[in-house]
Amino acid sequence: MSEQSFDVIVVGCGIAGLAAAVSAREAGASVAILERAPIEQRGGNTRYTGAWMRMKSETEIADDFEEHFAANAGGYVDPSFIKDSLNAPEQQSALLRALSYIDPNVISTFAEQAPATIAWLKAHGVRFNALPNAFPTSVQPRMQSTGGGLALIEALAPKFEQSGGTVFYETTARSLILDASGTVVGVNAVTRGNKPHQLRGKAVILGCGGFQGNAQMLTRYVGQRAVHLRHMSLGSHYNKGEGVQMALDIGAAPCGDFGLWHASPMDPRTRNAGSSVYIYPYGILVNKRGMRFVDEAPGSTDETYESVAREISAQPNGIAYVIVDAKLNDVPKECAIVYSEQPAIEAATLAELAGKLEIPGAMLAATVAAFNKACVPGKFDPKKVDGLATQGIYPAKSNWARTVETGPFKAYPIVSSIVFTFGGLKVNASAQVVNTDGDVIPGLYAAGETMGTYYNAYTGATSVLKGAVFGRISGLDAARRAAAA
């Protein structure tokens, strides 16, 4: 077995891993990155993402940033824990420190450090722009790195290598190495051909994403419907959950909802990453049986698309079809958003459309007739939540409810994509991993989606930003640890 030593070992070469590695190098540590992908595919999910960030500007987070996390913090928590959470971290009970819920100190640190992290990325050549209309309707501002996630990889990876950092491509971390005192001191890995390789260090940072690329873990945690989830990008297939699993194996506390995932409504026919379909609020969604099953327009699209996509995943074969009629022509182009390169399925009549979709024609006709009967007169405004709702039908449609009766008709198939999983590791505000007894595991850090943060609903446009913020925090803290050793 080959063996090498570094001050800091980083697992993963997406935004979390690169932010950690570059920050640690800047602080003077010797750093190695383990990356499962070959160099031309490095970056995991980050490589393919639009890198949306929930910020009003480069110096201001969105108004509801911390509130959204607080509203989706981990279920119904015992009030005694809530009281305890007001204490300083070192004075909190061990039960609270290990509890699977959102630590307010982690979120407040996230919010406080976001502007400084943006400034740090800018210093490395990343540029930002206000995001154009990404959804039909939005209630929160977003910006993005110019060039998306790939621009982040192309800015940071060369900087890391030019600074003397080492990257082991096509190398997968398998397990953590502990010394007799319970400190993490390295990683057992394998290179091509399943050849073992061991790296020793003073700190290990896990920035290797969730487990969406692992069918066994998905089925274990998400359930049988996992087989119908379409990966949002090729990069997510590299995220096979070893970072989460190897830390759990040594007693790390879990955090985040292991049974949920960040979902987006996606055309299953697409060959492109991020090919979401957002016109469904202006039509109806039916399943393979030709039946409606969900409120297609419960609110602003940017805040509700995930819940709709998850409902789609629960349908037969995990698929649905959005059906619109000729009135879609009334919807401005910037609202009728379809990122898929595949064409709509078109037909002159509903019966013909049912045949093309291979769904029962009689049931589709009955579904549309019942829906049309429930539509009422009112002002239709595709640019904002208009309150034009159905009456006397279940499920209701809360906004943009207009009849579907004027040919030609169009349809798109939609499945739930899986962007990343919610379940991960509990960390403190310094990105140190906490064990199930509430104590820090010395020498172990987690950032990005390897740290569990989300419950119930994704706080949109925070994933890439979280990777950058806690990658940087972990890299600097790990370098300090190495220097003091």
Rounded Cα–Cα distance for residues 407 and 427 (Å): 55
Report the pLDDT value the prediction gives residue 151, as an integer from 0 to 100.
Answer: 97
CA distances from 232 to 163, 297, 301, 452 (A): 33, 22, 18, 20
CA distances from 380 to 253, 328, 401, 460 (A): 49, 12, 8, 26
The CA-to-CA distance between both ends of the chain, in Å, stands at 26
Domain boundaries, the chain: 2-260+422-484, 263-417
2-260+422-484 and 263-417 have identical folds: no
* Cis? peptide before 281, omega within 30° of 0: no
Rounded Cα–Cα distance for residues 161 and 169 (Å): 12
pLDDT digits (tens, 9 = 90+) for 11-55: 999 999 999 999 999 999 999 999 999 999 999 999 999 999 999
Report the pLDDT value the prediction gives residue 334, as an integer from 0 to 100.
Answer: 83
Rounded Cα–Cα distance for residues 293 and 397 (Å): 10
Rounded Cα–Cα distance for residues 241 and 61 (Å): 30
Report the pLDDT value the prediction gives residue 130, as an integer from 0 to 100.
Answer: 82
Phi–psi pair at 285, nearest 5 degrees: -110, 130
Nearest to 32 by CA among 163, 177, 155, 120: 163
CATH 3.10.105.10 given to domain 2-260+422-484: no
Asked if residues 29 and 478 have their Cβ atoms less than 8 Å apart, the reply is yes
Report the pLDDT value the prediction gives residue 87, as an integer from 0 to 100.
Answer: 85
Asked if residues 412 and 277 have their Cβ atoms less than 8 Å apart, the reply is yes
Q: Which fold has domain 263-417?
A: Flavocytochrome C3; Chain A, domain 1 (3.90.700)
Asked if residues 309 and 278 have their Cβ atoms less than 8 Å apart, the reply is no
Rounded Cα–Cα distance for residues 319 and 324 (Å): 17
Asked if residues 137 and 4 have their Cβ atoms less than 8 Å apart, the reply is no
Report the pLDDT value the prediction gives residue 132, as an integer from 0 to 100.
Answer: 65
Report the pLDDT value the prediction gives residue 107, as an integer from 0 to 100.
Answer: 97
SS (H, E, C) the chain: CEEEECCEEEECCCHHHHHHHHHHHHCCCCEEEEECCCHHHCCHHHHCCCCEECEEECCEECCCHHHHHHHCCCCCCCHHHHHHCCCCHHHCCHHHHHCCCCCHHHHHHHHHHHHHHHHHHHHCCCCEEECCCCCCCCCCCCEEECCHHHHHHHHHHHHHHHCCCEEEECCEEEEEEECCCCCEEEEEEEECCCEEEEEECCEEEECCCCCCCCHHHHHHHCCHHHHHCEECCHHHHHCCCHHHHHHHHCCECEECCCCCEEEEEECCCCCCCCCEECCHHHCEEECCCCCECCCCCCCCHHHHHHHHHHHHHCCHHHEEEEEECHHHHHCCCCCCCECCCCCCEEECCHHHHHHHHCCCHHHHHHHHHHHHHHCCCCCCCCCCCCCCCCCCCCCCCCCCCCCCCCCCEEEEEEEEEEEEECCEECECCCCEEEECCCCEEEEEEECHHHECCCCCCCCCCCHHHHHHHHHHHHHHHHHHHHHHC
CA distances from 434 to 19, 147, 247, 480 (A): 21, 35, 10, 19
The dihedral through the CA atoms of 200, 12, 43, 58 has a sign that is negative
Question: Which residue matches tokens 């006709």?
Answer: 365
Q: Given strand 128-130, what is the order of strands in its sheet? A: 52-53, 143-145, 128-130
The dihedral through the CA atoms of 71, 73, 76, 79 has a sign that is negative
Pairing mode, if any, of strands 8-11 and 31-35? parallel
- CA neighbours closer than 13 Å in the CB half-sphere of residue 56: 9
The whole model's pTM is what? Answer: 0.96
Q: What angle do CA 290, 291, 296 make, to 5 degrees?
A: 120
Tokens of 305: 């698309």
Report the pLDDT value the prediction gives residue 417, as an integer from 0 to 100.
Answer: 97
Output the furthest CA–CA distance in the chain (Å, rounded): 74
pLDDT lower than 70: segments of the chain: 1, 131-133
Q: Which amino acid is at 463?
A: S
